[in-house]
Amino acid sequence: MPEPLARAAQLLARLPGVGEKTAQRFALFLATADEALPRELGQALAELRDHVRPCARCGNIAELAADGLATCAVCQDSRRDPRLLCVVGRVQDLLAIERSGAMRGRYFVLGRLLSPLEGVGAEELPIDALKERVRADQVAEVLVATPPSVDGEATALLIARELGPLGARVTRIASGVPHGGDLEFADQVTLGRAIEGRKSFG
């Protein structure tokens, strides 16, 4: 394989979810595709780090403004309720919740979850920044939307414990059966939680 092709494939293989074979296929495609595509792609990638930053307030992805500050679209939206704060582990989770259209408050992205097994302790989570945000915005409710996994639950418990003394109500997203899913195929934990977390009509 020509050296530039091998190098492109090596770099592509470092992307999440891209294996060696897929990376080779991408590199070959780009090497033989219409010339505009690899050039535009290269330019877009190079500009990414110059123009996109985590939002200074919440950690969501944001475009860097002329004043050198990055504030995301959610934080700029004055119709959002600043007293409802949704805590998520990753930006991808924030985007997924935004797609649901069900969140009318703002966000705080932790960046990582507590993981006793992988040795990620509480001191590696931005708990102080979260507390500061809750105080500064006089947040009334903190909705913890970390995933329903061992790490996600451990993180949620930590947040509930740390924020308790601040007076904000700490809530947790419900977990249940996926829409359109069959009860027969739901796992026991999910089905058990759906029953425990049942709600009245209306």
Q: Which is nearer to Zn ion, 57 or 133 (CB)?
A: 57
- Residues 97 and 84: beta-carbon distance below 8 Å: no
The reply to whether 159 sits near Zn ion by the rule CB under 5 A is no
Q: Which is nearer to Zn ion, 57 or 172 (CB)?
A: 57
Partners of 1 in the β-ladder: none
Work out which of 23, 24, 60, 142 binds Zn ion, going by CB under 5 A. 60
Least distance between Zn ion and beta carbon 117 (Å): 30
Continuous H helices in 83-185: 91-100, 127-136, 150-163
Q: Are strands 141-144 and 81-88 parallel, antiparallel or unpaired?
A: parallel
Report which of 53, 57, 50 is spatially closest to residue 77, judged by C-alpha positions. 57
The reply to whether 158 sits near Zn ion by the rule CB under 5 A is no
Q: Which is nearer to Zn ion, 7 or 104 (CB)?
A: 104
The reply to whether 130 sits near Zn ion by the rule CB under 5 A is no
Work out which of 8, 23, 57, 84 binds Zn ion, going by CB under 5 A. 57
Angle of helix 3-12 versus helix 20-32 axis, rounded to 10: 130
Q: Which is nearer to Zn ion, 24 or 71 (CB)?
A: 71
The reply to whether 134 sits near Zn ion by the rule CB under 5 A is no
The reply to whether 156 sits near Zn ion by the rule CB under 5 A is no
Q: Give residues 72-111 in contact with Zn ion (rule: CB under 5 A).
A: 72, 75
Which residue in this structure is represented by tokens 């993180």?
155
The reply to whether 58 sits near Zn ion by the rule CB under 5 A is yes
The reply to whether 133 sits near Zn ion by the rule CB under 5 A is no
Q: Are strands 169-172 and 141-144 parallel, antiparallel or unpaired?
A: parallel
Q: Which is nearer to Zn ion, 81 or 153 (CB)?
A: 81
Work out which of 9, 23, 55, 163 binds Zn ion, going by CB under 5 A. 55
Q: Which is nearer to Zn ion, 82 or 147 (CB)?
A: 82
Q: Quickly list DSSP for 5-65.
A: HHHHHHHHTTSTT--HHHHHHHHHHHHHS-THHHHHHHHHHHHHHHHEEE-TTT--EEEBP
Contacting residues toward Zn ion, per CB under 5 A? 55, 57-58, 60, 72, 75
